Structure 1
Amino acid sequence: MYKLAICDDEKSSAAEAAELLEKYKKLHPEQEFEVDIFYSSLDMLEGLEKKVYDIFLLDIYIDKINGIELADIILKNNDDARIIFMTSSNAFYKEAFRIHAVHYLEKPILEEEFFDAFDRVCTEREELHYLTFRDSGQIHKVLVDSILYIESEDHYKRIVTDNDNFLIRSTMQMLADELDYPYFYPLGVKSVINLKKVLKITKDTVLMEDGKKFSVPRGTYRTLSELVLKFTF
Structure 2
Amino acid sequence: MYKIAICDDEKSSAAEAAELLEKYKTAHPRLEMSADIFYTSLDLLDAIEKTSYDIYLLDIYIDKLNGIEIAQSIRKKDENGQIIFMTSSNAFYKEAFRIHAVHYLEKPILKEDFFDAMDRVCQEQEVRFLVVRESGEVRRIPIDDIIYVESEDHYKRIVTDAKTYFVRSTMQTIMEDIGEDYFHALGMKTIVNLKRVLKINKDTLSMEDGAEFSVPRGTYRQLSELILKYTF
Q: Give the TM-score, by structure 1 length.
A: 0.53
User: CA–CA distance in 2 between the matches of 1:39 and 1:124?
Assistant: 31
Instruction: Kindly report which structure 2 residues correspond to 1:102-141, keeping only aligned pairs within 5 A, or say none.
Output: 102-124=102-124
Deviation readout 1:124-155 (Å, 9 max, x if unpaired): 4999xxxxxxxxxxxxxxxxxxxxxxxxxxxx
**What is the Cα-based RMSD across aligned positions, in Å?**
1.6
Partner of 1:4: 4
Corresponding position: 1:62 with 2:62: yes
Q: Give the TM-score, by structure 2 length.
A: 0.53
Structure 2: give runs of 5+ residues left out of the alignment.
128-232
User: CA–CA distance in 1 between the matches of 2:126 and 2:78?
Assistant: 19
User: CA–CA distance in 1 between the matches of 2:50 and 2:80?
Assistant: 17
| C-alpha displacement of 1:83 | 0.1
Partner of 1:99: 99
Aligned positions, number: 127
Deviation readout 1:136-179 (Å, 9 max, x if unpaired): xxxxxxxxxxxxxxxxxxxxxxxxxxxxxxxxxxxxxxxxxxxx
User: CA–CA distance in 1 between the matches of 2:107 and 2:59?
Assistant: 10
Deviation readout 1:178-232 (Å, 9 max, x if unpaired): xxxxxxxxxxxxxxxxxxxxxxxxxxxxxxxxxxxxxxxxxxxxxxxxxxxxxxx
| C-alpha displacement of 1:76 | 0.9
| C-alpha displacement of 1:63 | 1.3
User: CA–CA distance in 2 between the matches of 1:82 and 1:47?
Assistant: 16
User: CA–CA distance in 1 between the matches of 2:126 and 2:2?
Assistant: 11
The letter for the 1-side match of 2:32 is: E
Runs of 4+ aligned residues of structure 1 deviating over 2 Å after TM superposition are: 123-127
Instruction: Kindly report which structure 2 residues correspond to 1:1-233, keeping only aligned pairs within 5 A, or say none.
Output: 1-124=1-124
| C-alpha displacement of 1:123 | 2.3
User: CA–CA distance in 1 between the matches of 2:34 and 2:20?
Assistant: 14
Structure 1: give runs of 5+ residues left out of the alignment.
128-233
